[in-house]
Chains A and B, each alone.
Chain A
């Protein structure tokens, strides 16, 4: 390839680079600039306030619970989605009647907008007229205000998000399973390896690339979870279920602290960057060890 051809080929990067610069790089640096202002988010006048917004982070009564919730959403959803997704994929990889239909049913919730999923789930969990409480009453139980206790609300959100996206993990693992060459499993069968040994020593190590992709995708999705929380709970962080994404939106759109919201955005960005890179590094090492 001549230098000229290479130069021409490099030009093809330009549109993508331009889009990346306009929609990612510029907003990022603009966000850093706004984080040093007291801008209310819509009027043109504001002033620079130094590190005041960063100092607020240290005294914010909600920040620790919001941060902890974000970790729970990120890691809780990832764990559940991957464990369930793996189980479903192994099951769906066997041959039985109606397998195609069942795969579609498990994947179906992923095709619904998460906000709509959240609103549907509100009708399930709401105190008055909620489907779950109607079932409780049917069996002689009492109604429960499911979304009133912060810890329980966080758990419900993790479950709802898992239910919605477990199909995605299942599809990734199914693709991974179908890429495992039959010769390995056949050889193991001949050697008399049992089903657990087959999973432990053949399937699981060879699924590592799929596990890496699925974990990273679910982790990032969970850490920036927004729609379902917004649909099931009020915007205010005093409910104890807010995530960094909902809280920074609340600070910008409701409380009119665009500067502080920008600080929270930077924290979210840095946090996801660190967590996803550490996870990638961990799984890369595991892949290298296992393969």
Chain B
């Protein structure tokens, strides 16, 4: 009887293992991205297409706001996803964890605009740039028309503030921020800071920011401008407590004139309403300087160098590099594709891309000019201004100390 029971138990255990054996003959790749909204849904769809074609399973995760924190934990434990997105940090933060991809057949197809932003000092690239984040300020064309402003007349921040005043008087919200998702505030500073410290050829702090000699008192002018906008009612009342989803909803409903997001926000906004949206360059701070655009990685995917399934991971990367797949993903982001030869639907801003083709582009400020870990200082100090807990002096001190600490200069 005991023997029968033992055999029964063994058979039962074998049966429970059976599905794993039959279904697990294909490899499962862990794939992570930081994407949200429409492009996240499209990426999940692409994963399913890949599995249907190759039999390789994809365990796809997109932890949204927690992506960066979770990736840091994974780097600390050296247990990364097989394929993951690098959200602008393929060289500085992730390169030591990624396999160089220069040997892939598509290497020569990468767009000229993105190559310097994803290449290290030795000429290695570590990601497939599915698309390129070339962005300015998202704006509502109808609101600007209503207040009688030609967007190309907005050259400096003084011009911008004057337009905000008109927009406010017309009953709209000039600029919308979602402080609960405090990256929306960090992004504001990240996009505006170049006009103060980088873009002006006649007077800039590019070298000082990189070599650690930057005079942080200069940051006060930027903090003051933000505080001034808040005081003058240019920002939404709930700028400190709202979230990204509300930003795009209000944008789509036509209640907001400007938002400091990439063109993905237009795609998300269009789900809420039919607002007539466009993209404009970022104004200059100095008289004589010209408006600029921001360029960087958007959806860029790399392969973990210690992946247990390197062949399959590369197969997935090459699947993403197919023109039709790349086009689909770039279109979902409303962005230009990562290869010169691939067309994408940039939707409402297609005309803007053409119009501003000759406008100078600069990388995201924190990715080049701030040491690792300072992005959150942009978010925290911005929130400090909004909730009144930080003065300009406090912000300057806070930024200086954090910068010196992270540059190891304290």
In angstroms, Cα B179 to Cα A147, docked, is 11
Confirm or deny: B27 has a beta carbon within 8 angstroms of a beta carbon on chain A.
no
Confirm or deny: B259 has a beta carbon within 8 angstroms of a beta carbon on chain A.
no
A246 vs chain B, min Cβ distance (A): 12
Q: Is the CB of B380 within 8 A of A237?
A: yes
A237 vs chain B, min Cβ distance (A): 7
Given contacts A253-B69, A253-B72, A254-B376, contact A126 B241 (CB under 8 A): yes
A63 vs chain B, min Cβ distance (A): 14
Q: Is the CB of A129 within 8 A of B179?
A: no
Kindly list chain B residues whose C-beta atoms are within 8 Å of the C-beta of A250.
376
Confirm or deny: B137 has a beta carbon within 8 angstroms of a beta carbon on chain A.
no
Interface residues of B in 59-75 (CB under 8 A from A): 68-69, 72-73, 75
Which of the four size classes fits the interface of chain A? Answer: 20 to 34
Bits for B69-83, please: 1 = Cβ < 8 Å to A, else 0.
Answer: 100110110000000
In angstroms, Cα B250 to Cα A246, docked, is 30
Given contacts A236-B383, A256-B72, contact A127 B241 (CB under 8 A): yes
Q: Is the CB of A145 within 8 A of B76?
A: no
The main secondary structure of chain B at its interface with chain A is helix
Given contacts A42-B76, A145-B241, A240-B387, contact A256 B372 (CB under 8 A): yes
Interface residues of B in 238-276 (CB under 8 A from A): 238, 240-243, 246, 249-250
Given contacts A128-B242, A148-B238, A249-B69, contact A236 B76 (CB under 8 A): no
Confirm or deny: A40 has a beta carbon within 8 angstroms of a beta carbon on chain B.
yes
Q: Is the CB of B69 within 8 A of A254?
A: yes
Kindly list chain A residues whose C-beta atoms are within 8 Å of the C-beta of B370.
none
- For B72, the closest partner residue in chain A by CB is A42
Kindly list chain B residues whose C-beta atoms are within 8 Å of the C-beta of A129.
246, 249
State which of A232, A239, A254 has its C-beta within 8 Å of the C-beta of B240.
A239
Which of the four size classes fits the interface of chain B? Answer: 35 or more
State which of A43, A61, A253 has its C-beta within 8 Å of the C-beta of B68.
A253
Kindly list chain B residues whose C-beta atoms are within 8 Å of the C-beta of A146.
241
Kindly list chain B residues whose C-beta atoms are within 8 Å of the C-beta of A38.
408
Confirm or deny: A209 has a beta carbon within 8 angstroms of a beta carbon on chain B.
no
Bits for A145-166, please: 1 = Cβ < 8 Å to B, else 0.
Answer: 1111010000000000000000
Confirm or deny: B48 has a beta carbon within 8 angstroms of a beta carbon on chain A.
no
Confirm or deny: A87 has a beta carbon within 8 angstroms of a beta carbon on chain B.
no
Given contacts A40-B372, A249-B69, A253-B69, contact A234 B76 (CB under 8 A): no
Confirm or deny: A28 has a beta carbon within 8 angstroms of a beta carbon on chain B.
no
Confirm or deny: B231 has a beta carbon within 8 angstroms of a beta carbon on chain A.
no
- For A232, the closest partner residue in chain B by CB is B180
Confirm or deny: B389 has a beta carbon within 8 angstroms of a beta carbon on chain A.
yes
Confirm or deny: A255 has a beta carbon within 8 angstroms of a beta carbon on chain B.
yes
Confirm or deny: A235 has a beta carbon within 8 angstroms of a beta carbon on chain B.
yes
Q: Is the CB of A236 within 8 A of B237?
A: no
Confirm or deny: A122 has a beta carbon within 8 angstroms of a beta carbon on chain B.
yes
B87 vs chain A, min Cβ distance (A): 14
Confirm or deny: B182 has a beta carbon within 8 angstroms of a beta carbon on chain A.
yes
Given contacts A43-B75, A240-B389, contact A127 B380 (CB under 8 A): no
Q: Is the CB of B250 within 8 A of A128?
A: yes
Interface residues of A in 84-114 (CB under 8 A from B): none
20 more CB-based (< 8 A) A-B contacts, given A128-B242, A128-B246, A234-B379: A40-B373, A42-B75, A122-B180, A126-B246, A128-B238, A148-B240, A148-B241, A150-B387, A233-B180, A234-B180, A235-B376, A236-B376, A236-B383, A236-B384, A238-B380, A238-B390, A239-B240, A240-B387, A254-B68, A256-B373
B interface residues (Cβ-Cβ under 8 A, vs A)? 68-69, 72-73, 75-76, 96, 179-182, 236-238, 240-243, 246, 249-250, 372-373, 376-377, 379-381, 383-384, 387, 389-390, 394, 402, 406, 408
